[in-house]
Amino acid sequence: MCGIVGYVGSKSAVDFLLEGLYRLEYRGYDSAGLAVQQDHQIAIRKKTGRVGQLADLCERQPVTGTFGIGHTRWATHGEPSDINSHPHVGGNGEVVLVHNGVIENYSILRNQLRELGYVFRTGTDTEVVAHLVAHHLFEEIKLGANPGEIKTCLRAVESALKRVKGTYGLAMLFRDVPGLLIAARLGSPLVVGIGRGEHYLSSDAGPLVGRTEEVVYLSDHEIAVITPHELQIIHRDAGTQTPSVRTLEQTTSDLDLGDFDHYMLKEIYEQPQTVENALRGRLDEDEASAKFGGLNMQPQELRRVDRIILTACGTSWHAALVGEYLIEEFARIPVEVEYASELRYRNPPLTDRTMIFAITQSGETADTLAALRECKRKGHPTLAICNVVGSTIAREADGGIYLHAGPEIGVASTKAFTSQVTVLTLLALFLGRMRNLSYPAGKRIIGHLRAMPEKLRQTLGCHAAVKDIAQKYYQAENFLYLGRLYNFPVALEGALKLKEISYIHAEGYPAAEMKHGPIALVDEDTPSVFVVPRSNIYPKVVSNMEEIKARRGPIIAIACEGDDKIADLADDVIYVPDVDEYLQPLVTAIPLQLLAYEIALLRGCNVDRPRNLAKSVTVE
Ligand code: F6R
């Protein structure tokens, strides 16, 4: 949800700003803009649309300077338009800033500032912050402060932020202090990159890769005062902080498309490798269990846990549903899966034996973070299953497990889902072996997990069949996705993938539930995708297929290799390798990801940048 970049140093700012914005574009692509400072002039270029359009504008109207800020927008307040694009100007151009987040009391503040004579030109909440900082700058100057001093600007920012309610990641330039970049964080991530005689700022580490390996993640209520040679961090309550410098582990090749046309396809194809990464070093053959480096909980504490809450949003929530089935089956611990957006405002009765796991690819999802904080505040052990190293949730959780899937850039989540399911399988095995899962059962699970990367490689062989099927159905306007037990969350995930990138209405259901309403949608133009690999309830799912067939609904079946019978009933079949039931989501998710991808392409959709979406949902 909006991406921010900043640079102060001796190189051309615009080069880094544009490169950084391209890398952050997945966070929002309604508009893009930048501001570059040279001496006491700040030049702004901004434009509705993608970063490429901003780059064209900068070519037609070049800007020079070695200090700057940039922004790629996912609109919250104010429609996507040139005028509403960031950066925004405060006062008479004394302050120029970009913002990620939502200012909840913007309307009250705007009225107060209007009464003081400030003129608002945009429909955004952000412009309020720009004028507010300028206003406090004028107040400081009235009291005799020097407008050209860093401390004057800092005091103005501190006073302004005290009046703001909501969330923000902010980056601002000051006309009268060239080379000063002030950043502030509450709820929206920011990371500072440290170079030689230069500093970078970004919403996530992506733009810093290849520029520097040393980074400092800002925490909530921190303000960073950044100049080419200095970085000072001040916490609202705790005062000046010693920056905690971390090393970046990503490389630029993680961010390249390689031979693929889209990040989504690249990430689908990475899954044999990313599942292998999730398993690496975590299979404990001696104990027939799993091992994790960062849970930060003693076996005695884990043994006491008698209830687990898995909380997440979107695709991660679907992975959590698979986790519920896995943990309950292997470890016999009751599990509830909660939408983070609900959990954060609910007050469910939890005991001191309840453990919370937040599941998140980005580690920045606002609702998931808020749910984690709420549970932490109540004193529960809060852990995270997270992909992005150093993300807010990864840092705030008491412990956790990284996915090690590498950056997921396609807006539709693919490899994160299979990595999350893999980690949840390991977790279920680990918790199970602490309870009543036998040694031979643990050994068997380990053996099956070891085989999964190869099974996923084989699964990708279905791509050609999926392409043909997509050709047949891409004009349908409604789809049903149906599966049972471990494949019910896969049905939900398949439907989500299709709707988010192809804009086709799709619903996922437990196959048997379809009779209780959704069957009314079935007709010859509404395909049903049945996830029906071999299982104990295979005949039951086949009966559900019969029910659809009787109503002349076309059927696409995801079935196990060797299941020839299914072709008698289904119009089209996509075969996947036969694996144990609890591992089926790993193989059955892949054809559904590919199906959504191929259909979206045929419909001319932008698969990596679907409309209205953003990768990292950092607003409520
Ligand atoms: C769907 C998708 C979203 C995310 C959701 C949670 O393809 O990407 O539904 O899964 O926004 O994001 P994370 O996992 O980053 O918390």
Residue 271 pLDDT level (bands cut at 50, 70, 90): very high
Residue 214 sits in the same domain as residue 274? no
Q: CA 270 to CA 279: how far, in whole Å? A: 14
Q: Which tens digit of pLDDT belongs to each residue from 290-313?
A: 999 999 999 899 999 999 999 999
Q: CA 360 to CA 373: how far, in whole Å? A: 14
Distances (CA, A) of 554 to 132, 225, 527, 566: 59, 61, 5, 13
Residue 313 sits in the same domain as residue 298? yes
Q: Which tens digit of pLDDT belongs to each residue from 339-349?
A: 999 999 998 88
Atom of ligand 1 nearest to the CA of 317: 10
- Assess whether the C-beta atom of 313 lies below 6 angstroms from ligand 1: yes
Q: CA 233 to CA 235: how far, in whole Å? A: 7
Last residue of a domain, one of 247, 270, 293: 247
22-26, 114-118, 314-318, 415-419: least confidently modelled range: 22-26
Residue 129 sits in the same domain as residue 170? yes
Residue 612 pLDDT level (bands cut at 50, 70, 90): confident
CB atoms within 10 A of CB 348: 11
The answer for residues whose C-beta is within 8 angstroms of residue 377's C-beta and 6 or more apart is none
Average pLDDT over residues 101-109: 94
Number of domains in the chain: 3
- With 80 as the cut, is the pLDDT of residue 67 above it? yes
- Report the separation in Å between the CA atom of 547 and the middle of ligand 1, taken as the mean of its atom positions: 33
- Assess whether the C-beta atom of 365 lies below 6 angstroms from ligand 1: yes
Q: CA 612 to CA 101: how far, in whole Å? A: 16
Residue 285 sits in the same domain as residue 420? yes
Q: What is the pLDDT of residue 36?
A: 98
- Assess whether the C-beta atom of 500 lies below 6 angstroms from ligand 1: yes
- Assess whether the C-beta atom of 311 lies below 6 angstroms from ligand 1: no
Q: Which tens digit of pLDDT belongs to each residue from 224-234?
A: 999 999 999 99
Residue 118 sits in the same domain as residue 226? yes
Q: Which tens digit of pLDDT belongs to each residue from 385-395?
A: 999 988 899 99
Q: What is the pLDDT of residue 75?
A: 84
Residue 445 lies in a domain: no
Residue 266 sits in the same domain as residue 384? yes
- Assess whether the C-beta atom of 265 lies below 6 angstroms from ligand 1: no
- With 80 as the cut, is the pLDDT of residue 1 above it? no
Q: Are 528 and 480 in contact (CB under 8 A)?
A: yes
Residues acting as catalytic residues: 2, 615
Residue 131 sits in the same domain as residue 266? no
Q: What is the pLDDT of residue 611?
A: 85
Q: CA 249 to CA 256: how far, in whole Å? A: 15
- With 80 as the cut, is the pLDDT of residue 438 above it? yes
What average pLDDT does the chain have? 95
Residue 34 sits in the same domain as residue 146? yes
With tokens 């490798």, the residue in question is: 273
Listing DSSP states for 170-227 in one string gives EEEEETTSTT-EEEEEEBS--EEEE-SS-EEEESSSGGGTTT-SEEEE--TTEEEEE-
Residue 450 lies in a domain: no
Residue 619 lies in a domain: no
- Assess whether the C-beta atom of 361 lies below 6 angstroms from ligand 1: yes
Q: What is the pLDDT of residue 186?
A: 94
CATH number, residue 132: 3.60.20.10
CATH number, residue 311: 3.40.50.10490
Per DSSP, the three-state class of 526 is coil
The residue nearest atom 11 of ligand 1, judged by CA position, is 314
Q: Which tens digit of pLDDT belongs to each residue from 227-267?
A: 999 999 999 999 999 999 999 877 777 778 889 999 999 99
Last residue of a domain, one of 247, 266, 293: 247
Residue 35 lies in a domain: yes
- With 90 as the cut, is the pLDDT of residue 412 above it? yes
Q: What is the pLDDT of residue 558?
A: 98
Residue 93 pLDDT level (bands cut at 50, 70, 90): very high
- Which stretches does DSSP call E strand in 423-549? 478-483, 505-510, 528-531
Atom of ligand 1 nearest to the CA of 312: 16
Q: How big is the chain, counted in residues?
A: 620
Residue 314 sits in the same domain as residue 417? yes
Q: What residues make up the domain containing 32? A: 3-247
SS3 content of the chain, % helix, strand, coil (to 5): 40, 20, 35
- With 80 as the cut, is the pLDDT of residue 619 above it? no
Residue 17 pLDDT level (bands cut at 50, 70, 90): very high
Residue 454 lies in a domain: no
Last residue of a domain, one of 215, 247, 279: 247
Q: What is the pLDDT of residue 249?
A: 78
- Assess whether the C-beta atom of 368 lies below 6 angstroms from ligand 1: yes
Find the largest Cα–Cα distance for the chain. Answer: 86
Q: Which tens digit of pLDDT belongs to each residue from 501-549?
A: 999 999 999 999 988 988 888 999 999 999 999 999 999 999 999 999 9
Q: What is the pLDDT of residue 518?
A: 86
Q: What is the pLDDT of residue 248?
A: 86
Q: What is the pLDDT of residue 617?
A: 78
The residue nearest atom 10 of ligand 1, judged by CA position, is 315
Residue 614 lies in a domain: no
The residue nearest atom 3 of ligand 1, judged by CA position, is 314
Atom of ligand 1 nearest to the CA of 412: 7
Q: What is the pLDDT of residue 250?
A: 75
Q: What is the pLDDT of residue 28?
A: 83
Q: CA 290 to CA 286: how far, in whole Å? A: 10
The residue nearest atom 5 of ligand 1, judged by CA position, is 314
Residue 419 sits in the same domain as residue 538? no
Q: Are 37 and 67 in contact (CB under 8 A)?
A: yes
Atom of ligand 1 nearest to the CA of 616: 15
Report the residue among 362, 372, 593, 607 best suited for mutation to probe ligand 1: largest number of ligand atoms under 8 A from its CB. Answer: 362
Q: Are 226 and 181 in contact (CB under 8 A)?
A: yes
- Assess whether the C-beta atom of 316 lies below 6 angstroms from ligand 1: yes
**Distinct helix (H) and strand (E) counts, the chain:** 19, 27
Alpha helices (H) along 245-339: 263-269, 271-279, 299-304, 314-331
Residue 541 lies in a domain: yes
Tokens of 95: 């302050």
Residue 286 sits in the same domain as residue 377? yes
- With 80 as the cut, is the pLDDT of residue 608 above it? yes
Q: CA 535 to CA 191: how far, in whole Å? A: 47
Residue 238 sits in the same domain as residue 275? no
